[in-house]
Structure 1
Amino acid sequence: MSFEEAEAELARLSAELAHHDALYHQQDAPHISDAEYDVLKRRALEIEALFPELVAGDTPSQLVGAAVSTQFAPVRHGVPMLSLDNAFDGPEVTDFVARIRRFLKLGVDEPVAFVAEPKIDGLSASLRYEHGILVRGATRGDGRTGEDVTANLLTIADIPQRLTGKGWPDIIEVRGEVYAPNDAFDAFNANAEASGQRTYANPRNFAAGSLRQKDPAVTAQRPLRFFAYAWGETSEPFAETQAEALTALKDWGFKVNPRSTAVEDGSGLIPLYDGLQADRATLGYDIDGVVYKVDRLDWQARLGFVARTPRWAIAHKFPAQQAQTVLEGIDIQVGRTGSHTPVARLHPVTVGGVVVRNATLHNADEIERLDVRIGDTVTLQRAGDVIPQILNVVDPARPGRPAAYAFQSVCACPLKTPLVKETNASGVESVVRRCTGELACPFQRIEHLKHFVSRRAFDIEGLGEKQLILFHERGWISEPADIFSLARDEARLAELRAEDGYGGTSVRNLIAGIDARRTIGLDRFIYGLGVRDIGEQTSIVLSRAFETWPAFESACIAASGGLASDAWTRLAESHAISPRALSVLAEAMPAETDPWPEAPMEQKVALAFPALAAPARRSLALLANNWSDLLEISRVAREEGPSDSLGQIAGISGVGPVAARALALFFREPHNRAMVDRLVAQMTRIEDAERPKMDTAVAGKTVVFTGALERFTRDEAKARAESLGAKVSGSVSKKTDYLVAGPGAGSKMADALKHGVTVLTEDEWLALIG
């Protein structure tokens, strides 16, 4: 790797890690697993080791946690809360012990004692005691500055408000982990789901979210616990070893993990690790590894730190967890676009402290690859300790094993519509099997309805999945228009009150939520239709291009009668065959017989279509075997292409031929047209799109938003900027005009400074746009 390549790769990794740090530490909503994060960070640290001149204040080796949010007051830690290096296998642990021995210049026979502690998967906290009384509690934050969450920490029973025993220093920062026991977490989620409240993905997110509640009374209702395991600032020493310190913390009233164990020498670390890994699922709380610390505190002081990590400690991480269980069945889930996804139904098994009952099998090809059959014992793994997946069949030669699983050829719905495997323009068949029944398929209908009421579409308050399924099963709702009809159906609303326990307020709120969406923006209306390949951003582009619903609908209806043939589509999607190349092919009139029978095919193409660019000529030479093929290609380009109406939609910047074809196919179906007409009849108004202004201070400018925005959400900021004619990008480059930075801007700020981009605060941005 060259220096330039290393610099670019480290910048990319730094930006990605900063993004995931913010999601994990500030928003309690990680998008990747710990294992995936560790892979990214190890790669970044390897580059820093190879190119030390690239190490800077914002590169991964120099950072801990993430910037502090503004929801709570900042707290400066007396001693920084640093992160740990990771080890992922035995040899790395052996190297860790050897480095310590070399640094301390120990003799061959002199042992190094360690304390091994379970690495709790929770939220780190620091508790400051003065004269034995808790005066302040904070999160780790970026390692130097955390968030003041004292009031919330005081609600946790494991945290003493006044130290007991004796011997504690006048000032001491006690460090530890806030966590949620697995059974209490599961019970909370079950109750929350039953009452329609927010649920959490895992105990760590639950603990972090609970500790950051604005109202301490909410935190007090959450089943949080605390293990103490370290300390920061102290007014005087209080122990000579790590083990003695843990005993002291216990004497002062703290819970100390009972599995924390003193080990006489490094050779005892791996057996202890293996024992904790074997017992991991039975502990009652999540751990993701074991932390090894040199026991003698004077040796810890001598060893000191490297960058932001101590030399005297390391975290030995667990691999993704595995278990074995029996495959009891294979269920099929039908998605909004008709995709049939097989799901393994498993005998319940605990993997990583989580009870797993289902695992995705992805598609029919994956079932065939695994050769998994009903009744098989399978090895299960939570990929990155998050997503359950089947790795293999334990005993494929077992007696009495049934025949290979036969993936169904028709939809799982009562209509039994045939499933199809689509083929792309290159002739490659998709692995996904789809039902072509669209809204006639009840499974797809439910998914369409869920999409219709979703936050980015119509965002109908009070109408979630549970209510949709209930209303659909009763035959009240089968398409979007029925939702609005229900709000006017007094008989059914009365039945809701009488038979389903809906109170008057609940019914009024449901009606209000539905009626509030009888007026909707054109972009949300388009997106809410659930047309395949028409996402949120494409809906916005289409709404701005056509401005009004009548104009958009007319264009789609006209386009539905002008679909290109499959042959034309394959040609148009071939390599280097651009719209201009298609025009050249369509306008040319080659001779019926080959004028150059001895010439190679690429030369024939060049002579027959001299206006074609070289890449298009080479591509065409591969598509045609002879002169007749060239004549046919020219005819297809001339006669089988899309109509001008379809071309108008495809030609809109940001739309393209795939989305245009999807709209034409949707509006070509009479039942889709009728469904849309019924929906439009229920609307009070479909609001015209607001065309971006071109006379503003930011028209034509490229803007990037970063950090924890405080004055508006990211969606609001993006929508406002685009309405003023600006282009919003997700990354900073030399073409960026403005970086609008909230707290925790991270690597994008560094990129902006490198490229000379103007950096604005939120207030400065608001002043600029007026």
Structure 2
Amino acid sequence: MTEKADMSMRRAEQRLAALQAELHEHAHRYYVLDAPVISDAEYDRLFRELLELEAQFPELVTPDSPSQRVGGEPLAAFAEAAHALPMLSLDNIFAAEELADFEERVRRRLKSTAQLTWTAEPKMDGLAVELIYENGLFVEGSTRGNGLVGENITANLRTVRNIPLRLHGAEPPERLAVRGEVFLAKKDFAELNRQRTEQGEPLFANPRNAAAGSLRQLDPKITAARPLSFFVYGVADPAALPCASLTELFPHLRSLGFPVNPLIKFCRSLAEAEEHYNHLQQLRHELDYEIDGMVIKAASFAAQEELGSTARAPRWAVAWKFPAEEAEAVISGVEFQVGRTGAVTPVAALEPVRIGGVVVRRAALHNQDEIRRKGLMIGDTVLVRRAGDVIPEVLRPLAERRTGKEQPIVFPKECPTCDSALHRPEGEAVTRCRNPRCPAQRLQRIIWFAGKSGLDIEGLGPKNVERLAEAGLIEDIPDIFRLNKERLAALDGWGEKSAEKLLAAVERAKSTTLAKLLAALGIRHVGETTAELLAARFGGLQPLMQAGEELLLAVDGIGGQTAAALREYFADPNNRSLINRLLETGLSVQAAEKKADGGPLAGMVFLFTGTLASMSRAEAEERVRQLGGAAASSISKKVTHLVAGEKAGSKLKKAAELNLVILDEQQFVRLAAA
């Protein structure tokens, strides 16, 4: 490079840095503060100058440049992104009495409640995401997924205008994981559906579906064309910031450049929170975004640490849902559907009715007892409730509307698919078909196996599975991996390209993890999180299949019901045959990085409290699993060792009372290195 060219490069680098800083500041003022100080035309002029310079010097383009919000090249697929700390769900409540119960549980668990305060936050009806910043720069973004592992959608999240690509402030934290909700404003949702109508495309059912669909586009340019927004609601590890409570955290996050919902209220009591709930309920239809309730959190991080979490939800927070929207409809008939476990579920066929902006044609009736308890009949005018994406539910009949022409709902005695006698186990509300060869069960198991809760095989959704089954191409799960290109291509509307695309997706699915396979098999009581726990503990399929009930119950988070379901599943010759046939097709199950038995920490159950200096808590727990031990999320009789880091909470005192082995961080490191 000549001296003249070098000087030109340095000047361009300096100008680009100045332009980036100026554009970031103006974007923050426009999208976050709603207080612009320049015109749109002036912003466009600065942005054009940035694009021209970056075109001239492409080597100077940085990941945090404002130009990167327009979307890059299409992706082949989303990679996985593990969460260092789980993204937990929230327990729901629906009445003030349940709020009082929640408060009582919190106060009972806390050593001191003198300074207990709360936040009351609008519950956004969007898509939860995690954003990772390193030294102030946005480096990774992901969906919640199963709480432990999500999808890496960094390229798409870069296009969301009010997500900062670079944090404000002179000294950002070395690493920061923030969590929040991506959503689509009501007016933007209406405009998006208007455009889709003009283009002859199917409409989105609601803003949440539109936001989720936008973020899961493999082409980031499509995401960039949709006006998504973001509100932050917390951080993964509060110790990463100099804040002792949510009261301090939200202003601090705002100072870093994150948009914080202005309707968050700090409350001295839950009576104040209840007042805010009523206010939000009155306000919800005036807002330009969807909310479906309010989230109440204990504000103090020390209190949150002391309260801890269950396997699925924090004990220091709860979601108070708004009453679901309801409408009247007529039951025109009842269908009896057979699920993958043989459960026979009655579903009401309704004369179409619009509820909450969605046309509803079916509603859940749950089981025979519910039909009898509610006194439902075919021909009844009923009250139907729809809550979020859950299938609508029939609440009760409007008996005063009856004409005398209504007919009773008769539960079948034989399976509506295979004619086998139905069985209702004593003490259970569910009636089941116990024929393992029942075509309906088989079909539902295939749909589950290939679906998002299973191996997530692209192009093999419910409709395509049903179509391939009707054509005789799939009769059981292993047939997925024996599909034939010529027969697929011969299907009406398919052709070679469609067949090749599906077969490529099937081939990718042949290499999977133990956790994904366990979730895909559809074993009762074994969802994605439980499958992860089992995979981490046993490492391979054979050790799990051979595990006795006592060994299964030793896994933190596995109860008696789940252990019994696992033993029953793996003892069934049909299921063992299914697994063998799957392996014969070439299915490759990657072993988890964990010794099933015999590791130096075998038989030990560790619980971590406080902050560790040399590693994160998630890394410490993974180290325990790799060495044959188990990691617990709460104190119990199963715990053998407690590792106390800095600012250890009430768990330390409880461990001493239970005479557990208590280690400091250095002692644990030496033990784990042995």
TM-score of the two chains, using structure 2 as the length reference: 0.51
The reply on whether 1:510 has 2:505 as its aligned counterpart is yes
Partner of residue 480 from structure 2, selected from 475, 483, 488? 483
Amino acid at match of 1:365: D
Residue 346 of structure 2 aligns to a residue in which SS? strand
The 1:317/1:526 distance shift into structure 2, 3 A limit, reads closer
Amino acid at match of 1:431: A
Residue 54 of structure 1 aligns to a residue in which SS? coil
- The answer to whether the 8 Å contact 2:334/2:378 transfers is yes
CA displacement at 1:678 relative to structure 2: 4.1
Please list, as runs of the form range in 1=range in 2, the aligned pairs for 1:230-269 lying within 5 A after superposition.
none
The reply on whether 1:379 has 2:383 as its aligned counterpart is yes
- The answer to whether the 8 Å contact 1:336/1:445 transfers is yes
Residue 71 of structure 1 aligns to a residue in which SS? strand
The 1:701/1:663 distance shift into structure 2, 3 A limit, reads closer
The reply on whether 1:179 has 2:240 as its aligned counterpart is no
CA displacement at 1:515 relative to structure 2: 4.2
Amino acid at match of 1:420: H
- The answer to whether the 8 Å contact 2:606/2:629 transfers is yes
**Alpha-carbon separation, structure 1, partners of 2:510 and 2:462:** 19
**Alpha-carbon separation, structure 2, partners of 1:720 and 1:189:** 51
Partner of residue 132 from structure 2, selected from 71, 90, 96? 71
The reply on whether 1:345 has 2:349 as its aligned counterpart is yes
Could you say which residue in structure 1 is the equivalent of 2:396?
392
**Alpha-carbon separation, structure 1, partners of 2:519 and 2:212:** 34
Residue 472 of structure 2 aligns to a residue in which SS? coil
Amino acid at match of 2:385: Q
Per-residue CA deviations over 1:640-669 (Å, capped at 9, x if unaligned) read: xxxxxxxx95565538666545544x22x6
- The answer to whether the 8 Å contact 2:643/2:663 transfers is yes
Question: Percent identity at matched positions?
Answer: 30
Residue 430 of structure 2 aligns to a residue in which SS? strand
Please list, as runs of the form range in 1=range in 2, the aligned pairs for 1:498-577 lying within 5 A after superposition.
499-500=494-495, 502-503=497-498, 506-507=501-502, 509-516=504-511, 530=522
Residue 331 of structure 1 aligns to a residue in which SS? strand
Per-residue CA deviations over 1:309-347 (Å, capped at 9, x if unaligned) read: xxxxxxx99644332222232222211111111122233
Could you say which residue in structure 2 is the equivalent of 1:61?
118
- The answer to whether the 8 Å contact 1:343/1:359 transfers is yes
Partner of residue 448 from structure 1, selected from 437, 442, 445? 445
**Alpha-carbon separation, structure 2, partners of 1:73 and 1:205:** 30
The 1:716/1:126 distance shift into structure 2, 3 A limit, reads same
Partner of residue 425 from structure 2, selected from 413, 416, 422? 422
Could you say which residue in structure 2 is the equivalent of 1:9?
none
CA displacement at 1:371 relative to structure 2: 1.6
Could you say which residue in structure 2 is the equivalent of 1:682?
585
- The answer to whether the 8 Å contact 1:370/1:393 transfers is yes
- The answer to whether the 8 Å contact 2:350/2:362 transfers is yes
The reply on whether 1:737 has 2:660 as its aligned counterpart is no
Amino acid at match of 1:321: E
CA displacement at 1:714 relative to structure 2: 11
Residue 424 of structure 2 aligns to a residue in which SS? strand
**Alpha-carbon separation, structure 2, partners of 1:213 and 1:740:** 43
The 1:178/1:458 distance shift into structure 2, 3 A limit, reads closer
**Alpha-carbon separation, structure 1, partners of 2:385 and 2:223:** 33
- The answer to whether the 8 Å contact 1:334/1:340 transfers is yes
Amino acid at match of 1:701: M
Could you say which residue in structure 2 is the equivalent of 1:433?
431
Q: Number of aligned residue pairs: give it.
A: 473
Amino acid at match of 1:731: S
CA displacement at 1:700 relative to structure 2: 3.7
Amino acid at match of 2:118: S
Per-residue CA deviations over 1:390-440 (Å, capped at 9, x if unaligned) read: 221112562233231111122121x322211123xxxx4x3211112223x
Partner of residue 226 from structure 2, selected from 222, 227, 232? 222
**Alpha-carbon separation, structure 2, partners of 1:438 and 1:683:** 24
Residue 475 of structure 1 aligns to a residue in which SS? coil
Partner of residue 692 from structure 1, selected from 592, 596, 606? 596
- The answer to whether the 8 Å contact 2:488/2:495 transfers is no
CA displacement at 1:699 relative to structure 2: 4.1
CA displacement at 1:69 relative to structure 2: 5.7
**Alpha-carbon separation, structure 1, partners of 2:107 and 2:397:** 41
Amino acid at match of 2:641: D
**Alpha-carbon separation, structure 2, partners of 1:416 and 1:661:** 24
Could you say which residue in structure 2 is the equivalent of 1:469?
466
Amino acid at match of 2:132: Q
Per-residue CA deviations over 1:65-109 (Å, capped at 9, x if unaligned) read: 99996525899xxxxxxxxxxxxxxxxxxxxxxxxxxxxxxxxxx
**Alpha-carbon separation, structure 1, partners of 2:86 and 2:195:** 19
CA displacement at 1:540 relative to structure 2: 8.2
Amino acid at match of 1:55: T
**Alpha-carbon separation, structure 1, partners of 2:544 and 2:110:** 57
**Alpha-carbon separation, structure 2, partners of 1:703 and 1:179:** 45
Task: Report the more deviating stretch, 444-453 or 748-757.
Answer: 748-757
**Alpha-carbon separation, structure 1, partners of 2:616 and 2:101:** 32
The 1:55/1:404 distance shift into structure 2, 3 A limit, reads same
Per-residue CA deviations over 1:523-567 (Å, capped at 9, x if unaligned) read: 876776556677786998799889785x998x8xxxxxxxxxxxx
**Alpha-carbon separation, structure 1, partners of 2:382 and 2:596:** 56
Please list, as runs of the form range in 1=range in 2, the aligned pairs for 1:573-652 lying within 5 A after superposition.
649=548
Q: CA RMSD in A?
A: 6.6
Per-residue CA deviations over 1:378-398 (Å, capped at 9, x if unaligned) read: 122346996632221112562
Could you say which residue in structure 1 is the equivalent of 2:325?
321
CA displacement at 1:472 relative to structure 2: 1.6
For structure 2, the residue ranges without an aligned partner over 5 or more in a row are: 1-84, 137-159, 170-175, 232-261, 263-274, 302-319, 554-559, 657-661
Amino acid at match of 1:71: I
The 1:50/1:733 distance shift into structure 2, 3 A limit, reads closer
**Alpha-carbon separation, structure 1, partners of 2:446 and 2:459:** 14
Residue 422 of structure 1 aligns to a residue in which SS? coil
Partner of residue 727 from structure 1, selected from 603, 624, 630? 630
Per-residue CA deviations over 1:208-240 (Å, capped at 9, x if unaligned) read: 99799999966643345899xxxxxxxxxxxxx
Residue 431 of structure 1 aligns to a residue in which SS? coil
CA displacement at 1:348 relative to structure 2: 3.5
Residue 499 of structure 1 aligns to a residue in which SS? coil
The 1:56/1:684 distance shift into structure 2, 3 A limit, reads same
**Alpha-carbon separation, structure 1, partners of 2:478 and 2:105:** 57
- The answer to whether the 8 Å contact 1:409/1:418 transfers is yes
**Alpha-carbon separation, structure 1, partners of 2:586 and 2:650:** 48
Could you say which residue in structure 1 is the equivalent of 2:364?
360
Residue 329 of structure 1 aligns to a residue in which SS? strand
Amino acid at match of 1:471: L
Please list, as runs of the form range in 1=range in 2, the aligned pairs for 1:112-191 lying within 5 A after superposition.
179-181=185-187, 184=190, 187=193
CA displacement at 1:494 relative to structure 2: 4.0
Per-residue CA deviations over 1:499-540 (Å, capped at 9, x if unaligned) read: 3563576245235225436xx75x876776556677786998
Could you say which residue in structure 2 is the equivalent of 1:336?
340
**Alpha-carbon separation, structure 2, partners of 1:766 and 1:704:** 16
Amino acid at match of 1:179: A
- The answer to whether the 8 Å contact 2:365/2:393 transfers is yes
